[in-house]
């Protein structure tokens, strides 16, 4: 019996839960050639949503997906962009090679057929910025030649904001403003970097992108999917679903992960109850102990660690209140404010001082209560 809860892959079909409002808005923006910056903390389903947008418009536009995760040079960004183009728009290496010879003059493209059937791209003798510009300009040229609009997703695009002098932002902005047949969806999880990119007056993209924040999935949206999925293994109570949400805070990936564990244990029979949810989460946190220990060890500042411990025990606590500061011996309010800003910058807390990863919070709570 296949487990219906998949937390390790892009959510598609029934696993793509809610996001109807965001999906409709993004599709409408793409159809009107609007450029969007979509950002949120990790594991909130940005990539799944963007893939759904591309699937929805692929019959009317050329849909290109580019993952910029861990791109640290202009050459790597250019290679990933060209790879996205040729795999979306050209079915054969021969056709892709002809197009690249015409439009990429500053580098020698090397194309290979990968085991998964995709076309691998390597740009040899790259002239960095010129090659990056040519790879971006290729998108509009292809659209004009085919007479068809293009939508481009640049996922995990925070890497473009980390180049000295904002030089990659400048290239992207200068190319985008001349492309009247292309719309871009930029996305990333380092919110402080992305917000600075569109809010700082000295930046190329200042007020040039429509900024959209993706939040957690409301419990009401997940209930039908969870109930239907558990119907063939004994069912799940409403109280159990509420308990799942208490641990996952509407984080779609963690919700799927907890439900995946519960489904596996319930396959032998019996309804899922709040008690079984608690046991499953505790077991899961035990299995994630090494990962979460590394995350905590990476926080070297004692005040920051103490704040995390306090918020793990009091999820709805107010870390800038006198009571919270005094209870956890955090020092001055100004020092706490600086520490909170650093934890947000590191991607551990969100702007409301909640944990970005709800299971990390739960693990930290369990550990302090000696439950794991």
CB atoms under 10 Å from CB of 316, counted, come to 7
pLDDT-derived band at 1 (thresholds 50, 70, 90) equals: confident
- Segment 198-213 shows an average pLDDT of 94
With 80 as the cut, is the pLDDT of residue 126 above it?
no
pLDDT tens digit sequence for 225-274: 999 999 888 889 999 999 999 999 999 999 999 999 999 888 877 678 99
pLDDT at 13: 66
- Report the chain's terminal Cα–Cα distance, integer Å: 31
pLDDT tens digit sequence for 186-198: 999 888 899 999 9
- Segment 131-147 shows an average pLDDT of 97
pLDDT at 166: 94
Average pLDDT value over all residues in the chain: 93
Kindly state the percentage of the chain with pLDDT values over 90: 77
DSSP E strands, 159-222: 182-188, 210-213
The mean-pLDDT minimum among 158-162, 240-244, 267-271, 312-316 falls in 267-271
With 80 as the cut, is the pLDDT of residue 11 above it?
no
CA distances from 99 to 59, 109, 112, 290 (A): 22, 10, 15, 48
pLDDT at 56: 95
pLDDT tens digit sequence for 318-350: 999 999 999 999 999 999 999 999 999 999 999
pLDDT at 70: 85
pLDDT at 206: 95
CA 194 to chain centre: 13
With 70 as the cut, is the pLDDT of residue 80 above it?
yes
Non-local CB neighbours of 366 within 8 Å, separated by 6+ positions: 282, 285, 372
The predicted model scores a pTM of 0.87
- Segment 118-144 shows an average pLDDT of 93
- Segment 123-130 shows an average pLDDT of 87
347, exposed or middle or buried, with CB in 10 Å at 0-12, 13-18, 19+? middle
pLDDT at 353: 95
pLDDT at 55: 95
- Segment 47-73 shows an average pLDDT of 94
pLDDT-derived band at 135 (thresholds 50, 70, 90) equals: very high
With 70 as the cut, is the pLDDT of residue 14 above it?
no
pLDDT at 40: 87
pLDDT at 130: 95
- Segment 158-184 shows an average pLDDT of 95
CB atoms under 10 Å from CB of 313, counted, come to 15
pLDDT at 266: 87
CA distance 161 to 166: 6
Cβ(252)–Cβ(44) below 8 Å = yes
Q: What region, left, alpha or beta, does residue 128 occupy, with left being phi > 0 and alpha being psi -120 to 50 degrees?
A: left
């Amino acid at each position: 019996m296949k487990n219906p809860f998949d937390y390790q892959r892009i959510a598609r079909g029934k696993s793509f839960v809610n996001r109807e409002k965001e999906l409709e808005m993004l599709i409408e923006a793409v159809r009107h050639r609007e450029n969007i910056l979509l950002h949120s903390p990790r594991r909130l389903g940005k990539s799944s949503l963007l893939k759904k947008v591309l699937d929805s418009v692929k019959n009317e536009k050329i849909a290109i997906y580019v993952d910029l995760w861990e791109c640290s040079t202009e050459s790597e960004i250019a290679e990933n962009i060209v790879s996205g183009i040729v795999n979306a728009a050209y079915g054969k290496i021969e056709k892709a090679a002809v197009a690249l010879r015409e439009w990429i003059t500053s580098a020698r493209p090397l194309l290979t057929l990968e085991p998964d059937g995709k076309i691998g791209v390597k740009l040899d003798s790259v002239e960095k910025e010129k090659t990056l510009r040519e790879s971006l300009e290729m998108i509009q040229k292809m659209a004009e030649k085919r007479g068809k609009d293009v939508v481009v997703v640049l996922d995990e695009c925070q890497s473009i904001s980390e180049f000295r002098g904002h030089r990659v932002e400048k290239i992207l902005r200068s190319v985008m403003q001349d492309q009247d047949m292309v719309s871009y969806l930029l996305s990333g999880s380092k919110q402080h970097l992305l917000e600075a990119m569109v809010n700082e007056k000295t930046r190329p993209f200042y007020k040039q992108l429509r900024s959209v924040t993706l939040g957690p999935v409301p419990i009401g949206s997940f209930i039908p999917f969870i109930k239907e999925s558990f119907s063939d293994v004994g069912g799940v109570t409403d109280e159990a679903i509420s308990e799942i949400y208490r641990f996952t805070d509407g984080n779609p990936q963690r919700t799927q992960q907890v439900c995946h564990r519960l489904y596996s244990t319930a396959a032998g029979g019996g309804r899922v109850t709040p008690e079984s949810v608690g046991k499953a989460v505790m077991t899961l946190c035990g299995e994630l102990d090494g990962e979460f220990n590394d995350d905590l060890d990476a926080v070297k500042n004692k005040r920051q660690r103490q704040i995390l411990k306090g918020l793990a025990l009091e999820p709805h606590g107010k870390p800038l209140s006198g009571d919270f500061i005094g209870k956890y011996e955090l020092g001055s309010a100004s020092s706490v404010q600086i520490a909170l800003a650093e934890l947000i910058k590191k991607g551990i807390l969100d702007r409301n001082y909640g944990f970005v990863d709800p299971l990390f919070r739960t693990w930290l709570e369990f550990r302090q209560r000696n439950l794991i």
